Structure 1
Amino acid sequence: MRRSLPLAATLVAALLCSPVAADARTVPAAAPAADRWDSPGPHPVAVRPGLVTTLYYPGDIASGGRRHPVIIWGNGTGATPSVYDGLLRHWASHGFIVAAANTPNSNSGREMRAGIDRLTALNGADGPFRGRVDLDRVGATGHSQGGAGAINASGDDRVDTTVPIQPGPLASVSSLHGPVLYLAGRNDSIVPPALVRGFYNASGHVPAIYAERAGADHFTPVGDGGGFRGVLTAWFRYHLMDDAQARGLFYGETCGICADSAWSDVRRNARVEPVSTTGR
C-alpha cells in the first residue's frame, strides 16, 4: 500500500482552503447530456468468475470480429464485484471487457493489474477471447478504496486513462500518465468532496477533470452506478473507443457535464484544453 506525504498535505490543505472553481455553467445549453450512455449497449453480457479476477464481457465476443477495450475495476472496502454487478454488466453491454478484482482490499492496485495479466494470457490462448482483447486500450476505475486502487494501478504503462470514484486517501497521483476524471458525491460524508479535490489539485501534470454529483452520497455508485453510470460510460467510450459524441460531454466549450445541473461542481485543469482540440 503506497502512501504519499506530499499528497496527504495537499488533501489537508484542500479541506482548509479549496480553490474557487471557474464558472463552468456559462457554456451553451446545447451541450450533450449523459442520458444516451445511461442506457444498456447492444451486446449480450457474459460473466466468467475467477479466483483472482471476475470477467464481465460481451457475450458475442467470439463472433463479433472486433477487439474490445479493457476496464479494470477495484471494489470498495469489504465489497466484491457482485456488489457492483449492474454497473459492470452495463459496461460489458457497451462492448468493454471488465476485469474486476476479486478482493475487498484493492488499495494497492496490484489486484487490479492482475486483470490485465489475465486478459493478456486469454488473448493468446484458444477460446472466445483469442485475438479479441484490445490491450492497447485500458482504463482503470473503482469505488472508494478501489478508487484509490485505480490511481495506484495506473502507474502501469498499460493503463491509458483513470476514473477514481470517491477515492480513499491512500494513493499517489504522481505516476498518472493519462487523462483522469475524478468523481465525487456532494453529500458524501465518508470521502468528502474536498478530499477528492485534493487529488485533482495534485494532478496538474495530466489532463484532469473534477466532477461532483449533486445529491450523491458515498453509496450512490453501488449496484448499477446510479447517477454516475452515464458519465462513466461516456468517458470510457471516448477515451477507449473514440466515440465522438461522448467527447463533447467533457471537452470543448460545450462541455456537457459543465452545463448539467446534476453536477454541482465541475473543474477542468489547464491541460484539458489541448485534449479538447486534438482528441485522444
Structure 2
Amino acid sequence: MSPGGGATTDTFADYAVAGPHAVMSEASGSTCTVFRPVTLTDDHPVILWGNGTSTQVSAYSEGLEHWASWGYVVVAANTSNAGTGEQMLDCLDGISGSAIADSLDLTRVGTTGHSQGGGGSLMAGRDERITATAPIQPYVVGLGHDSASQGDQTGPMLLLSGSSDFVASPSRNQAPVYQAANVPVFWANSQGTSHFAPIGDLGVYRGITTAWWDYQLKGDQDAADLFAGPCLGCDAEGWDVQRKGF
C-alpha cells in the first residue's frame, strides 16, 4: 500500500525507483527552492512545483528529489498558497536568469503541484512557456483558481486523482477539468487513495509522474507507450483511466 492508501502497481514501477543522478537542493532567491542533479550537463528539463494548502516544500522533498534524480531541475515555490500559479511562474523567471540557466532546456518545462498547488499548476499551464502539466489531486473550487484556465492550457495534461480523496474529490475537482480541458488529457484515478498520499515521496503518483515527464519533456518512446499508442498504462492495476486527445 502507498503511504496515503491505495494499491501500488507494477506498470510504472521502473519509474518509481531512484534515477542515476545524485541530487542536491539550493535556494533560488528567497521565494523558490531548487532540487537538481549535483552535476549538471546540458539541457535539463525544468519542472515547476506548487505546494498544497498549509504545507511547505519540505513536505514533498522526497518526491521532488526523486524527479531530480531522473535528470530534472525542479523549482518549487516557497508558499502554502500556490493557487494562482503566479509564484510558480515567478520561479521560472528566476531560474531562467540564474547561474545554472545555461544547463537548462527552457523549451521543455512542466508544471505540477498537489491540491491547491495542483490547481495552481493549471493556472500556470496557460503560459506559453509550459510544455505539459501534471496536476496531482488539484483543488479547483477556490483558493485562487479560475476555472477558465482549464480550457486555456498550452500543453498535454496528466490529471491525477484519488478515489478516496474527500478533500479535492474527483467528481467536484478533476472531472470538470477533464471535461473543460482544451488539450489531450490522461486522467488516472488511483483506487483507494486518499488526499494525503503525495506527502513525502509522492506515494503512488511517483512512478506515473516520472514516466509522464520522460514522455513529455524528454520524448522517451518507452514512456510514451504508457500513455499513447499501445497505452500500456490504460489497464494498469489499481488505476481507473480515462483519456481524450491521444
TM-score, normalization: structure 2?
0.90
Q: What SS does the aligned partner of 2:194 have?
A: coil
Identity over aligned pairs, percent: 40
Work out which of the residue numbers 109, 121, 126 in structure 2 matches 1:150.
121
Q: Does 1:81 align with 2:60?
A: no
Q: Match for residue 258 of structure 1? A: 234
1:116 aligns with 2:92: yes
1:72 aligns with 2:31: no
CA distance in 2: counterparts of 1:168 and 1:199, whole angstroms: 10
CA RMSD of aligned residues (A): 1.2
Question: Partner residue of 1:7?
Answer: none
- How many angstroms apart in 1 are the aligned matches of 2:152 and 2:74? 23
- Matched position secondary structure for 2:102: coil
For normalisation by structure 1, the TM-score amounts to: 0.80
For 2:47 and 2:189, the matched residues in 1 are separated by: 22
Confirm or deny: 8 A CA contact 1:54 1:99 kept in the other structure: yes
Distance across 1 between alignment mates of 2:27 and 2:201: 19
1:175-254 correspondence runs (5 A): 175-195=152-172, 196-203=174-181, 205-252=182-229, 254=230
What runs of 5+ residues in structure 1 fail to find an aligned partner? 1-31, 273-280
SS class of match (2:45)? strand
**Retained in 2: the 8 A contact 1:34–1:256?**
no
Q: Which amino acid aligns with 1:40?
A: A
Cα gap change, 1:79 to 1:268, in 2 (>3 Å): same
User: After superposition, what is the alpha-carbon deviation per residue over 1:160-213, rounded to whole angstroms, capped at 9, x for unaligned?
Assistant: 10111111113321220210111000100111111211110111x211111100
In our comparison, the structure showing a higher alpha carbon Rg is 1
Aligned to 1:35, which of 13, 30, 37? 13
**1:52 alignment partner in structure 2:** 31
Q: What amino acid sits opposite 1:187 in the alignment?
A: S
* 1:268 maps onto 2:243 in alignment: yes
* Among 65, 72, 76, the residue aligned to 1:96: 72
Paired letter, 2:50: G
Q: What is the CA distance between 1:244 and its match in structure 2?
A: 1.1
Which residue does the alignment assign to 1:107?
Answer: 83
Deviations 1:146-167 (A, max 9, x none): 0000000111110010111111
